[in-house]
Amino acid sequence: MERTVKAPADRTTPAIPSSPAVRTTPAVRTTPAVRTMPALPSTPAVMTTPAILSTPAIRTTPAVEIDNDFQIDIPEIQSDSLYEPAGTPTVLFRRQQTFLDIARDIDQPADQTTNQSSAVLNEYIPAVQTAQPIPPSRITDTAREQLKQQASMCITGPITDPLLLEVRRNHVMKDALGTLRYSQSDLSSKLQIKFIGEAGVDLGGLRREFFSLLAYQFSHSALTSGSPGRLTLRKNFVEREKNTFFYLGQLVALSILQDGPGLPVFADCVVNKILNITNGVNPNDLNPDLVKTLEEMTDASTDRELQDLYFSIYDEREAAGFILPSNIFKKDHIPLLQSALVNNMVLNCRDELDQFIEGLQTHDVLTIVRQEKLTCLFSGGKPPVTVADVRGLMNFKYREDINREADRETGQQFVRFLQATKGDGATINGITLKPKDVLMWMSGSTEIPAVGFHKQIDIEFGGEERVNTCALCVTLKHLTPAVEDPVLYFTERLINSSTFGDM
């Protein structure tokens, strides 16, 4: 019995050495969860959340008010799909007795938009005073004597040591301003002009010719903008930094005291600024195209026609700061628009004008100009020289000998030519002479100087035709019987003269 006792547990229990669990457990290597889990790339949560794109809160907030001054009207949006057009809100800024309205059509009925906007605009439309053009005027004898007296007190330098401006005929403004920049200690000396490459001594005639050329070249320079006779200064940072407008003002002040006519080329709004005159708005200061558009606005028969015209001058009104939507512009706003456009002619070049006015203070010239209200020295609306003006300056010196009748006949023929310049009688090849051209030929100036001529223009007679603008003396020769038309003869002589082609 003892022999049959078996202990199979001791021999057949291979638990420890044969456990294959450690070798065959593929948990770490074969777990597919890491490779096949699509959770991160396919999560549609961000793209499918419609709350961000179509926030329905807009439907419940038709208006937002901030401090009772700023209101945003937001249209109600019905959200039937994921994406809806946002539309453009109407933004209204309300201020006491003023307005600024920025509006867009947001698919509202036209009458609704117009009525809502008009209700705001009609609250207050500032009144605008419209002025008549500066009346044509001439310098009075009293003012002329005052300027002469000022010149005698301020221009005191020795005649042998003048302020010499040596200039090229085609660049008188550039050359003169360049010299004046470095001659600030010499402004009390007598002004003397020399044209480079030309013979001649300045006894007044070259000086008058110089100032006529200065006005012409200034009017056609980059320093100005506007239409002829209605000019303003052009905004010019570079020239302002160089004080060019200041030196220009000084040159004009010297012109007024020394045989020049001033600078009669400016628009009324600029003249009012120079003379410190408070006046209304003259719409004719604007360029002809703008004036025509404003007239068409006044005559427009429908609101649509009016608003189309208003839209056509977008750049001009934007530059003037006239911010008013086209769909609410009415005829009542035309005077306000005119005022904005005209005032912008001055405001746009305010710094340049201030610099120019400072230069005019030289020798207290501006003080006299303002006291006497001498608008004719700056206004482009100054009346032109007339036949009567030129005839009044002429002094015929007939000889008391056998030439007396021939002299008188020649003199009468010259006066007939002068009279023809009143109309279009003195015309050759489409070129028509005017009284100012005759004055330029005889004196070197297209205008009567602010202080007047120092003497009358002597008309003498001899065997050779001569013109001495410095001495104000013209010598006429007798016309031969071969000259059938004296008007045509003198017209041709003036057109072919050295002074005519410069202006």
Which one has a higher pLDDT value, 45 or 366? Answer: 366
The CATH number given to whatever domain includes residue 414 is 3.30.2410.10
Residue 379 shares a structural domain with residue 396: no
Give the other-Cβ count within 10 Å of 140's Cβ.
Answer: 13
pLDDT (average), residues 430-451: 92
What would the DSSP string read from start to end of 412-434?
HHHHHHHHHTTTT-SEETTEE--
CATH number at residue 247: 3.90.1750.10
Which pLDDT band holds residue 188 (cuts at 50, 70, 90)? very high
Q: Is the pLDDT of residue 353 over 60?
A: yes
| Helix, strand or coil, per DSSP, at residue 131 | coil
Domain final residue, candidates 325, 354, 383? 383
Query: Cα separation of 114 and 105, whole Å?
Result: 10
Alpha-carbon span 79 to 54, nearest angstrom: 7
pLDDT higher than threshold 80 for residue 1 = no
Strand partners, 192: 164
pLDDT reading at 171 higher than 90: yes
Phi, psi of 102 (to 5 degrees): -110, 115
Total domains in the chain come to 3
Identify the residue with better confidence: 30 or 231: 231
* C-alpha to C-alpha distances, 88 to 73, 74, 103, 216, 295, nearest whole angstrom: 10, 8, 9, 53, 34
Residue 347 sits in the same domain as residue 437: no
Residues 252 and 106 in one domain: no
Q: Are 311 and 452 contained in the same domain?
A: no
Give the mean pLDDT of 447-467. 92
- Residues with Cβ within 8 Å of 266's Cβ and at least 6 positions away in sequence, in order, are 230, 231, 232, 274, 378, 379, 380
The pLDDT-based confidence of 418 (bands split at 50, 70, 90) is: very high
475 bridge partner residues: 460, 466
Name the token pair of 404: 């007396």
Mean pLDDT of the 383-391 span: 93
Position 402 pLDDT exceeds 80? yes
Task: Give the Cα separation of 500 and 81 in Å (integer).
Answer: 79
* Whether 91 and 137 share a structural domain: no
pLDDT higher at 393 or 79: 393
Contacts of 362 (CB under 8 A, 6+ apart): 187, 249, 250, 253, 254
Q: In this predicted structure, which of 88-102, 141-155, 240-254 has the lowest mean pLDDT?
A: 88-102
DSSP 3-state of 221: coil
Residue ending a domain, among 332, 355, 383, is: 383
For residue 27, is it within any domain?
A: no
Separation of alpha carbons 332 and 341, rounded Å: 16
Tell me how far apart the alpha carbons of residues 364 and 257 are, in angstroms, rounded to a whole number.
Answer: 11
What pLDDT does residue 185 have? 92
Residues 187 and 307 in one domain: yes
Residue 473: closest CA among 393, 392, 410, 374: 393
Residues 369 and 391 placed together within one structural domain of the fold: no
Q: Are residues 169 and 249 located together in one domain of the fold?
A: yes
What average pLDDT does range 389-398 have in this prediction?
Answer: 95
Q: How far apart are CA 192 and CA 261, in angstroms?
A: 16
Say what the pLDDT of residue 160 is.
Answer: 86
For the stretch 142-151, pLDDT in tens is 999 999 999 9
Residues 364 and 426 occupy one common structural domain: no
Picking from 352, 383, 414, the residue at the C-terminal end of a domain is 383
User: Model pTM greater than 0.85?
Assistant: no
The answer to the question of residue 51 being in a domain is no
What angle do helix axes 435-443 and 205-219 make, rounded to 10 degrees?
Answer: 140
In a domain, 181, yes or no: yes
- Counting every residue written for the chain, the total comes to 503
The owner of tokens 């223009």 is: 457
- Tokens representing residue 162 in the block: 């003048």
Residues 281 and 272: their CA atoms lie apart, in Å, by 10
312 with 401, same domain: the answer is no
Q: What's the pLDDT at 200?
A: 80
Q: How far apart are CA 402 and CA 478, in angstroms?
A: 13
Residues 371 and 227 in one domain: yes
**Closest C-alpha to 260, from 35, 54, 27, 451:** 451
Q: Assign residue 373 a region (left: φ > 0; alpha: ψ between -120 and 50; beta: otherwise).
A: left
Q: What is the pLDDT of residues 24-57, one digit of tens each?
A: 444 444 444 444 444 444 444 444 444 444 444 4
Residue numbers of the domain that contains 100:
57-78+85-121
In this prediction, residue 278 carries a pLDDT of: 82
Which DSSP string do the residues of 161-200 spell out, in sequence order? S-EEEEE-GGGHHHHHHHHHTT-GGGTTSPEEEEETT---
Q: What is the DSSP letter of 281?
A: B
394, 379: one domain: no
